[in-house]
Every structure is written in C-alpha cells, then in structure tokens.
Structure 1
Amino acid sequence: MQNILVPTNFSPQSHHAFELALQLAHRTGGHITLLHVIDAPKTSGMVTTGGVASGSSLEGVFMVQLLQRTKRRMHELMAEMAGKWPEVAVQDHIATGTVDEAVLEVVRERHIDLIVIGTEEHSPTTHLFAPDSHAERLVRLSPCPVLTVKHPAPEFVMHSIVFASDFSPEADRAVSSLRQLTAAFPEATLYLLDVVTSASEAPAALERIHAFAQRHQLTAYQHEVFSAPQVRTGIPSYAARTHADLVVMLTHAHTGLGHLLHHNLAESVAVRAAAPVLTVHT
C-alpha cells in the first residue's frame, strides 16, 4: 500500500480521503497521485501541458482555462497538506473522460496498489434510492484494494481492524492485506468477524474463524460472531458499536462472502459503514 491514488472532486469527503491517504503513506513510506477528472470528451482540444491542441475550437480554449483553474486548486490543496506531512511525495494528475474509466486507466498505467476515495455515508433507506456511486463502482471494478472514507481523520489512529468474512477458503485471499495493515499499525487489534442471521449458526461460524486463524498462524486476534437480521446491516452496526477504526472485506462479482448471493455486499458496506472500509478484490 505504497503507491496510492486519491481521486478528488474538491468535496469535503475527498478532502478527508486525501488527509487519511497522506497518513497511510507516512506509515508505509508510500507516495500519492492526486487525481482530478474533468468530464470532457478527449476531442475537446485540451492537453495536459495547459496548451491548446492545433485546430481546436473555442471550446478547446475554454477547456484549457478550466484545466489551469483546476491545477491551481490542486496545488492549493497540496500546499495545505504539505504543511502537515511534508515528507510524503504527492504528484498531481488531471485526466478527461468519465471518472470511473479515468481512475481505472491511471491504476493500470501507474501500477497503483491502493485507491483512497471519499464518499458520503448512505443510510439503509436512502441507499435504496441512491444512484450507484463512483465509490461503489470502483469497489466492484478496481483490480487493487479500495479504501472508502466518509469522515474527517486529521489524526488517524488504528486501534481496531475488523475483518468481516464468512471465513470460507476464499477469505485466505485477504491475508496479505491484513498482514500489511498489522505491520503498518502494530498497535491495532485484529478482530475476525462473522455476522450471522440466526443464533444456531454461531458455533459453526466460530469454528471457521479459529480454523482461518490457525491456517495463517494468527495468534494476536479477537474472534467475534455478531447476530443481525441482515449481514449488510450487521457489519456497519457492529463497526459502529465497537468504534472500529477500519473494516476490511473481500469483494468480487457477487459478494466476497457466502451470506448474500444477489448483490455485492462489500459495495453496500463500503458506503454504509461510518468507519473507513478497505475492500480487497479477489
């Protein structure tokens, strides 16, 4: 988690994401690419050097002016944060096109290993009617881990890392990320959480948790089996009750957990949980 991408639209949430990403980079010795995407066709006449492509129209001139204004805003943001974490290298980048496509292109070109993105916290009711957010789509589509951030974290501390899973063999794919996190935050306690919808499922869930820990020689962990009517609401509820500092989940074409087969559970938790959520793609 050293080559970090932070997409920004200059919203408060993206500011929170940049702030947290800087602190992660400080911990890991990493560096950051700060990305802003301008929703414009690639034929608009804009070039990244700030000039106008030959044969461009007045629309192209307008786009160059927009690019210059955007660069000023990004440099102001970088200067603000440089006063707090001057040792973290930050490079700005402006792209055109759709946000999701531009972000994924930068991930591929720059070999990004973590996206940190700001998003609004959705309630269980409003999320039913909310459009699919950029954060949710990146959780689903990104080949690298995605960390969603909703709230300010000017002094981010990590006392508790919650890995929410059903601890099937697929859960093994998150171990590398868990080891990176516990190495970067050795003061944090690792909680292995399985949310069940029936009390009768608890013994089997506990057995899976201990088997997972034994497979990977995890000794410093806490086991947690939490009962809730739905897994998608149970994970954010548990995180809120325990004041979790970070939730970690697997994601793939469906859920990354065996509890829910029709929707991507990680996407839902990523925008519902108040705590930052790190999703690791299988």
Structure 2
Amino acid sequence: MKKILVPTDFSPYADAALEFARTIAQKTQAEILLMHVYLTPVNWSKLSIEQEKLFPDTRAAIKQARILLADRVRDTTAQGIAATDYLHFSDGKEQLIKFLGLDSIEMIVMGSHGKYGFKQHVLGSNTYTVLRKSHLPVLVVRETHKAFQLKKVILATDFKIESGRAFQKISDMVRLIGAEPELLYVNTPADFLENSQIMQLADGFLAQFGSYTYPVHIYSAYKVERGIIQFAQNTGADAVAIITHGRNDLQQLFSPSVTENLISYLDLPVLSLNITLPEDKVSRI
C-alpha cells in the first residue's frame, strides 16, 4: 500500500481515525496524508498578504490549523511512519470527494461519532459522500480506548457475481492489513434461501473470485445489518467489511444505508468498498 488519506477536523473522532491509520501504516509501510479542509469567507488563495490582514480571525484560525497538522505529522513520523500534511482552503462549494484522486491514495480512514451522532459529525456530509461515491476502500472508526487490533474481520457478502471484483479487492485489503477475513451471509425473510442453496452460491462465487480458503458463516436475521451486528458481536470480531452499491434499485446488493447503519450501531471499525468501480480502479492490490 502506498498512501492512506486521513481527513481531519482535529476532533477526538478524527484523532481516533489517525491512530488506526498509523497501525495500518506500520503493517503496510504506507505513507499517511493528513488533510484538513478549512472553510474561508473568500477565495483565500487569491488574497495578497495585505488583503489577508482584513480577516484577522481567519488568519489566526489558519495558523492554528497549521500547528495542529504539524503536531500530528510530527507524532506520526516519530513512530517511524512517513507522513505529510495538506491544508486546503475552500469556500464551501467543494466536497471531500474531489480529493480522492490525489496521487497514490489507496485507502481512506475517517472518524465517526457513532450511535445517533454520525450524521451530525463535523465531517458530516463529507463522510456520507465518501461512503457513497468513493472508488477506494473507506475505513470508518469510532473513538475508543481499546487497543487497536485487526485480526478477525467479518466480510459480509451476498455471493452475487456483480460484487466479485470488489470482493477480491476488499479481501486483499483485509489480508494486507494483517487480518483474516471470514465470510458472512445474512439470511433474511425477504430473500430467504435454504442453507444448501447458500453454500452452493458460495462455492460457485469463491471458485470464480476466491484466492484463499475462507470460513463461510450463515446467520439468520430480520434485516441484513441486524444480522451483521449480532454475528460480529457474538463472535468477537475486530472489524466488519462490506461491499456496497451506489444505486438503491439493484436488488440483493447492500445499499450504502446498510453501511451507515452499521457505523451508527456497531462499536467496531467498518471497512466499506463501493461496488461501482471504474475499470482502472479494480486491479488487485
């Protein structure tokens, strides 16, 4: 892995994401790009130094943002991890999704409030936009006082051919960060299948897209996210991975709302990958 993007608003939630990103970077020898987007009242990049003086509060806030970024980069490099910072000025019209094409970024790690607070997070709509539109794996983490570890990751899948290439990418990503993916199929009343039918789906899917030996679990629940949450909690998982689709009209593929619900109600990191991948973005890691 070359580079991990960590957007920050300097909140405890963003700092938790940075700490998790450091853990991953140490395992993968990746560089961390720590990015802060500051909203300015005018187009700041076009102002002269004299014109900047007309906005003393903004100048002071920008200075403080540079200090906070530098502090976090220094703490990161002190752990032997390559890190750079990026401070961008915005008039509010740009979205974080614009920056996902920056050179060599292969993963995004973001923070979350957790239960009920996710939509009101300072990163807020940007986080939702990234989850729905990013072609890159997005790891959303909660603030926690537990030691970070990623050994057992539950990879929820529906064994549909449409998700095959994304399954390969996210499976490789899970293994790259040092974890073992265990596959989970949630059997719901709306799309009920017998266990033998599910295993037949799994066998055909893995014969085409699997590169390793995966444990396959079947769990019955009223809703997909409820099944994922219960299974992850009951089995002591360290994280959950899920493949989503940007469109809601494609049946039997997990919608972005499932991922958002997992982030809100599950006290574990959630790794998401959108199935709508450009052809040049689906190569194996």
Please confirm whether the aligned pair reaches a TM-score higher than 0.5, indicating the same fold. Answer: yes
Which residue does the alignment assign to 1:15? Answer: 15
Aligned with 1:79 (options 67, 74, 80): 74
Q: 2:106 aligns with which of 94, 97, 113?
A: 113
Q: Taking every aligned residue pair, what percent have the same amino acid on both sides?
A: 23
Report whether the alignment pairs 1:194 with 2:185: yes
Native 8 Å contact 2:182 2:217 kept in 1: yes
SS in 1 for 2:267: coil
8 Å CA contact retained: 1:160, 1:190: yes
Indicate the residue corresponding to 1:241 in structure 2.
234
Equivalent residues in 2 for 1:213-232 (5 A)? 213-232=206-225
Structure 2 unaligned residues grouped into runs of 5+: 276-285
1:26 Cα deviation (Å)? 1.4
User: Contact (CA 8 Å) 2:97, 2:129: kept in 1 or not?
Assistant: no
SS of alignment partner, residue 92 of structure 1: strand
After TM superposition, what 4+ stretches of structure 1 lie above 6 angstroms from structure 2? 129-132, 260-263
Aligned partner of 1:62 in structure 2 is: 57
Query: In structure 1, what is the Cα distance between the partners aligned to 2:131 and 2:35?
Result: 17
Once residues 98 and 74 of structure 1 are traced to their aligned partners in structure 2, the CA distance between those partners, rounded to angstroms, is: 20
Counterparts of 1:194 and 1:53, CA distance in 2: 58
CA-based RMSD of the aligned residues comes to 3.0
- Pick from 205, 208, 216: which aligns with 1:212? 205
Distance verdict in 2 for CA 1:200–1:115, change over 3 Å: closer
Bigger shift: residues 193-202 or 217-226: 193-202
CA contact (8 A) 2:157 2:242 kept: yes
> How many Å separate the matches in 2 of 1:272 and 1:98?
33
Structure-2 change in CA distance of 1:263 and 1:8 (3 Å):
closer
2: distance between equivalents of 1:236 and 1:256? 24
Correspondence for 2:137: 145
Unaligned runs of 5+ in 1: none
Change (3 A) 1:42 1:233: farther
Cα pair distance change 1:37/1:106, threshold 3 Å: same
Task: Give the direction of change, closer, same or farther, for the CA distance of 1:253–1:183 in structure 2 (3 Å limit).
Answer: closer
Q: CA deviation at 1:95?
A: 1.3
Contact 2:150/2:177 (8 A) holds in 1: no
Q: How much does 1:41 deviate?
A: 4.2
Greater Cα offset, 26-35 or 53-62: 53-62
What are the superposed Cα offsets for residues 187-236 of structure 1, whole Å, 9 maximum, x if unpaired? x3321111112395242223222322222344421111111111122222
Change in Cα spacing, 1:136 to 1:242, as seen in structure 2 (3 Å) is farther
Instruction: Give the Cα separation in 2 of the matches to 1:224 and 1:280.
Output: 20
**TM-score, L = length of structure 2:** 0.82
Cα deviation for residue 108 of structure 1 reads 1.7
CA deviation after TM superposition for structure 1 residue 28, in Å: 1.2
Which of 206-215 and 160-169 deviates more? 206-215
Structure 1 residues 244 and 10, CA gap change in structure 2 (3 angstroms): same
